[in-house]
Amino acid sequence: MSATALRLTIRQWAEEDRPSNKLRNLGVQSLTDAELLAILIGSGTTQHSAVDIANHTLAKFDRDLCKLGKADYHELKDVEGVGTYTACKIMAAIELGRRRQSAHAGIAPDLSSATAIYRYMLPKMQDLKTEEAHVILMNQDRKLIKSVRISQGGITETSVDVRILIKQAVLCNATIIAFCHNHPSGSIRPSKADDDLTRSIKSACDLMRIHFQDHVIVTDEAYYSYHEQGKL
């Protein structure tokens, strides 16, 4: 008899070993990464159980959830047993987790420091493969009004129109702003273009009597703050 014929589907497992039953009986924390992913996958194929497919998916990304979080639709679809609907479910679950990180239960966060800005922006930027630029709009108490993505670019740069940035501040009656962009490369070292843009934003803010608090460069592991470095 072949190995395929001997393979048990999850429905043939002992009830206490099935991921969904483990979750109900022992709590979600008791499940392995593969078992959690298997619940999203749902049913397997004739060759592989949902847990098998989950393990194949994790293996593709070196069993690193951070790498899985950066996966796009096509990368997930490349995994044997992962169809269109399953890839969409996995991406939706990852996005919900990301949004939960930046949720603040209706309380406007205090963004008076570069560390606070970094912690607020990291969930929005940590998995991006291209550069994005955001303006963070604050009231006079340095409480968040909202953040707005103002540009999206390539792997090494994104184009920013300072006029759009100032327009967003004026429309929201923001008295303080911070500018934030990511470096997908992981380097926190600012480029000459970053320095030039910082000076342009500062000049525009001074003209409009808006306080330019900081320009923060975000990577997965660290940040660079123009204010903390005395360059603003």
- 8 Å CB contact between 120 and 109: yes
C-alpha 187, offset from chain centre: 17
Two tokens, residue 173 = 């009656």
Query: Which one-letter amino acid corresponds to residue 166?
Result: I
Q: What confidence score (pLDDT) does residue 65 get?
A: 87
For 22, 90, 145, 161, the CA distances from 36, given in Å and listed in that order, are: 10, 11, 36, 43
Q: What confidence score (pLDDT) does residue 102 get?
A: 66
What Rg value do the Cα atoms of the chain yield, rounded? Answer: 23
DSSP state of 110: B
C-alpha 176, offset from chain centre: 25
Q: What confidence score (pLDDT) does residue 4 get?
A: 44
Q: In a structure prediction context, what are the per-residue pLDDT tens digits for the chain, which is 232 residues long?
A: 334 434 555 555 655 567 888 888 888 888 899 999 998 888 777 788 888 899 999 999 899 888 898 888 899 998 888 989 999 999 898 888 877 776 665 567 889 999 999 999 998 888 888 999 999 999 999 999 999 999 987 666 678 899 999 999 999 999 999 999 999 989 999 999 999 999 999 999 999 999 999 999 999 889 999 999 999 9
Two tokens, residue 205 = 């803010």
Query: Which one-letter amino acid corresponds to residue 59?
Result: A
C-alpha 94, offset from chain centre: 9
Q: What confidence score (pLDDT) does residue 210 get?
A: 97
Q: What confidence score (pLDDT) does residue 139 get?
A: 95
- 8 Å CB contact between 13 and 21: no
DSSP state of 222: -
Q: How far apart are CA 57 and CA 82, in angstroms?
A: 8
Query: DSSP characters for 75-104?
Result: HHHTSTT--HHHHHHHHHHHHHHHHHHT--
For 150, 159, 162, 182, the CA distances from 110, given in Å and listed in that order, are: 22, 28, 24, 21
Tokens 């992981």 found at: 186
Helix or strand or coil: residue 35?
Answer: helix
- 8 Å CB contact between 49 and 8: yes
Q: What domains are defined for the chain?
A: 3-101 (no CATH), 114-225 (3.40.140.10)
Q: How far apart are CA 121 and CA 127, in angstroms?
A: 11
Q: What is the pTM of this model?
A: 0.67
Going by C-alpha positions, the residue among 220, 232, 9, 231 that lies closest to residue 98 is 220
